[in-house]
């Protein structure tokens, strides 16, 4: 157990706070450009010790550049501090990093790979224990190149925690991992945070960030446009619960008007590419909404009710929107990508660290 974890356990400190007087991370007015391209445009962040902090944003928003600046692997203007000192001055024993793109030697076994990275530190954890933490104990003697994409990613997570870091950077940690494996990694992150480890999590999986993060920052065009606990961001930016009504074609203004006239309260109706969207419908009012559709003479194919989520916050603040059918297509593409990544020759995919997400 690291010093922060030991202090938290001894004092009964709640998750999100450790024993360090300084915050784990501070970024003030951070700027970074690549020629004429502005990657970071005055970023301000503060991450407390023991906190799980999520960073989200579209490709090209600057997430990878910000992580590089915080880990001291790229230059940036502004004030950057890790445990009160410059990122390049912090004790490397205290920091663990899982980059999104990671290509370790393939002709080492999972155990040899973790042992190799453990050898870079003065006091590394037991290799067997680390592999058990990430669900790779049964495949410890398999060559890295023979592992599936998900198994490779779990092994990479193991290399990032072998030094028992006080601060852990995880960039898309569950890419290519199956649902059971994702839950295992989620539980591991929760245990690390409960023990006092600060986790800086970058992910495109909004459900993952919403579940794990104490606070979230959304980065767009190199600037932070929102930051706060997921539930507060959802309440402020997520919008009202909605009922998506799939029709055989697009609803015209007359249909929208008839349905809206049959609804009571503050529900609002709008036309979408696939039919209608009724905003402000609580679960107990779905029946009334169906009655309003019947009264208006609207024959529908399907109904889908949903509460706002962090994904809705993301879509609203990045200016993106999806109809139900578009979202289904996007989800199918995401599943296909995960299946491809899970193949033996697969691996982590996503932002190009040299240009895709600067």
2 pLDDT above the threshold of 60: no
The pLDDT tens digits for 92-137 are 999 999 998 888 888 999 999 999 999 999 999 999 999 999 999 9
307 pLDDT above the threshold of 80: yes
- Phi first, then psi, for residue 237 (nearest 5°) are -120, -10
Residues above pLDDT 70, as percent of the chain = 83
Half-sphere exposure of 127 (CA within 13 A, CB side): 16
- Tokens 């491809």 belong to residue: 340
Rg (CA), the chain: 23
The pLDDT tens digits for 161-177 are 999 999 999 999 999 99
Domains of the chain (ranges; CATH) run 3-235 (3.40.50.300), 240-306 (3.30.70)
Q: How far apart are CA 16 and CA 194, in angstroms?
A: 8
Q: How far apart are CA 303 and CA 300, in angstroms?
A: 8
The pLDDT tens digits for 247-278 are 877 788 888 888 888 887 778 888 888 889 89
User: Greatest CA separation found in the chain?
Assistant: 73
């Amino acid at each position: 157990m690291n010093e922060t974890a030991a202090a938290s356990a001894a004092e009964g400190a709640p998750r999100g706070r450790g024993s360090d007087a300084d915050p784990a991370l501070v970024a003030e007015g951070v700027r970074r450009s690549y020629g004429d391209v502005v990657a970071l445009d005055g970023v301000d962040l503060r991450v407390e010790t023991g906190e799980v902090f999520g960073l989200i944003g579209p490709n090209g928003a600057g997430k990878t550049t910000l992580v590089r600046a915080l880990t001291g692997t790229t230059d940036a203007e502004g004030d950057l501090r890790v445990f009160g000192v410059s990122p390049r001055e912090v004790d490397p024993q205290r920091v663990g990093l899982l980059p999104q793109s990671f290509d370790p030697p393939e002709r080492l076994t999972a155990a040899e790979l973790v042992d190799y990275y453990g050898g870079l530190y003065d006091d590394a954890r037991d290799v067997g224990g680390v592999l058990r933490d990430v669900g790779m104990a049964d495949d410890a003697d398999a060559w890295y190149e023979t592992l599936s994409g998900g198994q490779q990613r779990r092994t990479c997570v193991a290399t990032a925690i072998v030094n028992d870091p006080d601060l852990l950077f995880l960039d898309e940690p569950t890419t290519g991992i199956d649902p059971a494996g994702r839950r295992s990694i989620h539980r591991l992150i929760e245990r690390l945070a409960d023990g006092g480890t600060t986790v800086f999590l970058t992910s495109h999986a909004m459900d993952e960030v919403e579940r794990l993060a104490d606070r979230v920052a959304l980065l767009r065009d190199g600037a932070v446009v929102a930051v706060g606990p997921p539930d507060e961001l959802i309440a402020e930016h997520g919008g009202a619960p909605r009922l998506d009504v799939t029709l055989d074609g697009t609803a015209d203004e007359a249909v929208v008007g008839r349905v809206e006239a049959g609804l009571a309260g503050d529900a609002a109706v709008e036309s979408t590419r696939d039919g209608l969207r009724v905003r402000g419908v609580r679960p107990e009012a779905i029946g009334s909404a169906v009655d309003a559709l019947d009264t208006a003479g609207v024959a529908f194919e399907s109904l889908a009710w949903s509460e706002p989520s962090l994904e809705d916050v993301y879509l609203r603040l990045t200016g993106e929107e999806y109809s139900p059918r578009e979202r289904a297509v996007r989800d199918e593409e995401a599943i296909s990508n995960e299946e491809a990544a899970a193949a033996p020759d697969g691996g982590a995919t996503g932002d190009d660290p040299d240009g895709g997400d600067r």
